[in-house]
Amino acid sequence: MVPPLIELRGVSRCYGAGEAEVRALDGVDLVIEEGEFIAIMGPSGSGKSTAMNVIGGLDRPTSGAYLFRGTDTGAMTADAMALLRRHYLGFVFQGFNLLARTTAQENVELPLIYKGLSARARAEAAREALARVGLQGREHHDPSQLSGGQQQRVAIARALAGNPSVILADEPTGNLDSQRSHEILALLQALNRDDGITIVMVTHEPDIAAWAKRLIVFTDGRIIRDEPVPQPQGAGTGS
């Protein structure tokens, strides 16, 4: 029997101690299978970002277990967790996080340096990733020469270049207008549908979450809703 891609078993994450203790996650159970497109919602302080950080290996549970493809990450060293992030996870953030005086191709190449790829292999992988997000011909533009939507496409290409199993997208449309937001969401849908990449997206906007296949809602560190999205926005429209 194939284990789930991601599994949280009774995961809690606490900060502080005594009366100052904050329980950001409180006994969370969650299973994410290969190929899902999940939206995680909740108000500020609900635990959604903490859950994303745990799944991304950027934070460790205080108690409970996080399993990736059946392997308990709690037994992993910091170096092993770094390798998991490097080889299996891609990150996309609201703020793009591009280097200002660096071309689109060079921005995409940066994480590949840590994978030990040669300069030629990095350049080839970066060009391929940029083409996949519709930015062929923009390889040598720096961020100031790109629109917000194009900058987020560069950020997605950077996440794609390492051939991740999962893309973790934290408010990926937060800095974009509605048209550019729809372009990015349609791109994430296509990567999920055509490439089988699992997408886990944090948002606090219901209209953004409507593009996912499954909705998970956090409140006070707990999951209060976990349900399929019957007709995801944009699905099957080619938009």
Residues 18-48 have pLDDT tens digits of 888 899 999 999 999 999 999 999 999 999 9
Q: Does the structure show a pLDDT above 90 at 94?
A: no
In this predicted structure, the answer to whether residue 237 has a pLDDT above a threshold of 60 is no
**In the chain, % of residues over pLDDT 70:** 98
Strand-pair category, 63-68 with 6-15:
antiparallel
Tell me how far the alpha carbon of residue 222 is from its chain's centroid: 20
Q: What value does the mean pLDDT take over residues 194-213?
A: 96
Contacting residues for 3 by C-beta, under 8 A, at least 6 apart: 67, 69, 70
- Residue closest to 176 by CA, chosen among 216, 203, 200, 158: 203
What would the mean pLDDT of 205-228 be, rounded to a whole number? 97
pLDDT of residue 239: 41
pLDDT of 105 strictly over 60: yes
- Name the residue type at position 199: I
How much is the pLDDT for 6? 98
- Residue 142 has φ and ψ, to the nearest 5°, of -90, 170
Vertex 210: Cα angle to 201 and 104 (nearest 5): 45
Average pLDDT, the chain: 93
Instruction: Sketch out the chain's domains with CATH numbers.
Output: 6-228 (3.40.50.300)
DSSP sequence for the chain? -PPPSEEEEEEEEEES-GGG-EEEEEEEEEEE-TT-EEEEE--TTSSHHHHHHHHTTSS--SEEEEEETTEEGGG--HHHHHHHHHHHEEEEETT----TTS-HHHHHHHHHHTTT--HHHHHHHHHHHHHHTT-TT-TT--GGGS-HHHHHHHHHHHHHTT--SEEEEESTTTTS-HHHHHHHHHHHHHHHHHH--EEEEE-S-HHHHTTSSEEEEEETTEEEEEEE-SS-TTTTTT-
- Residue 234 has what pLDDT? 86
Tell me how far apart the alpha carbons of residues 80 and 145 are, in angstroms, rounded to a whole number.
Answer: 38
* pTM for this entry: 0.92
| pLDDT score, position 238 | 45
> Residue 113 has what pLDDT?
87
Mean pLDDT of the 182-196 span: 95
Q: At what angle do helices 119-132 and 104-113 cross, to 10 degrees?
A: 120
State both tokens at 33: 């299978």
**pLDDT of amino acid 111:** 87
The pLDDT value given to residue 167: 97
Write b or e for each residue in 171-181: b if 16 or more Cβ atoms lie within 10 A of its Cβ, otherwise e. Answer: bbbbbbeeebb
Please provide residue 82's backbone torsions phi and psi, each rounded to the nearest 5 degrees: -65, -40
* pLDDT tops 70 at residue 236: no
Identify the pLDDT of residue 115.
Answer: 83
Which residues, listed in sequence order, are joined to residue 219 by a DSSP beta bridge? 222
